[in-house]
Amino acid sequence: MSAIDGLPPLREVIATHELRAKKNLGQNFLLDLNLTSRIARVAGDLSQTDVIEVGPGPGGLTRGLLAEGARKVLAIEKDSRCLPALAQIGAAYPGRLEVIEGDALKIDPLAHLTPPIAICANLPYNVGTELLLRWLTPEVWPPFWQSLTLMFQKEVAERIVAQPGSKAYGRLAILTQWRAEARIALHLPPEAFTPPPKVSSAVIHLTALPEPRFPADLKVLERVVATAFNQRRKMLRSSLKGLTPAIEDHLTAAGIRPTDRAEQIPLEGFCALARSLATV
């Protein structure tokens, strides 16, 4: 029995339900419930919050979230082999765990939840960045979620919090920091997982800002940033010239030197450029 919830230890759960990790589902499980409780605590006080967990697997983080007091956890899992183990957790926390079997990229969980809503997940690496970008780029802001507590490969986590002038700075940093407060909360070595992945990991914590840091149209900003970083070594007057022949005028109007490179431009500069280009 585990100290946090009286349920069997995760190694036993995995053996009982024959949950051999599948690589194509990005399955690297966390088996230490002290660690999963620690990750749940990064999300803050969840006692008045519904939590979406993508990819609960055998339920290590699910158990951490419930033991730490989450009002409700809605867990979306693609691998049907995990459902019996998750049902056992649901029985230990009556009315607080709902499990949906399916692909998180295709499911709209909102009908199942009451705000405020947080998202907490040890994400499958193959869909993690896509989900993050979706959560960051709804048409209307603020979004349905208040915070995101997410596991990523260390390199991806570093791209999310990167500052201008660094190699990691790019589209992910700009889209994240435009609308959210972001920090790396925990670093985890490969051995924290079973089986251990090839890379180190990190938990990031994002809090949605009430409004974006600087005004800009989302679609224009996305296009400018994608185009600028597509050829990050080039001067902006050259990498962005496909957007409009008058790009130098727009760069100057936004306070950017046309000879600068994407990597040097702070978020505020990209937003000013998106505002100037919105009229084109």
Could you list the residues that contact ligand SAM (CB under 6 A)?
A: 25-30, 54-57, 60-61, 76-79, 82, 103-105, 122, 124, 127
Task: Give the residue with the Cβ less far from ligand SAM, 62 or 239.
Answer: 62
Phi/psi at 167 (5° precision): -65, -30
C-alpha distances out from residue 197 to 33, 54, 153, 157, Å: 19, 19, 9, 16
At closest approach, how far in Å is the CB of 153 from ligand SAM?
11
At closest approach, how far in Å is the CB of 218 from ligand SAM?
24
Cβ-based neighbours of 191, under 8 Å, separated by 6 or more: none
Task: Give the residue with the Cβ less far from ligand SAM, 57 or 269.
Answer: 57
Closest residue to ligand SAM, judged by C-beta, is 55
At closest approach, how far in Å is the CB of 29 from ligand SAM?
4
Does residue 218 contact residue 139 with C-beta atoms inside 8 Å? Answer: yes
Task: Give the residue with the Cβ less far from ligand SAM, 29 or 229.
Answer: 29
At closest approach, how far in Å is the CB of 122 from ligand SAM?
3
Task: Give the residue with the Cβ less far from ligand SAM, 57 or 90.
Answer: 57
Burial readout 142-168 (b: 16 or more C-beta within 10 A, e: otherwise): ebbbbbbbbbbbeebbbbbbbebeeeb
At closest approach, how far in Å is the CB of 188 from ligand SAM?
11
Neighbouring-strand partners of residue 50: 72, 117
Phi/psi at 200 (5° precision): -80, 165
Task: Give the residue with the Cβ less far from ligand SAM, 46 or 127.
Answer: 127
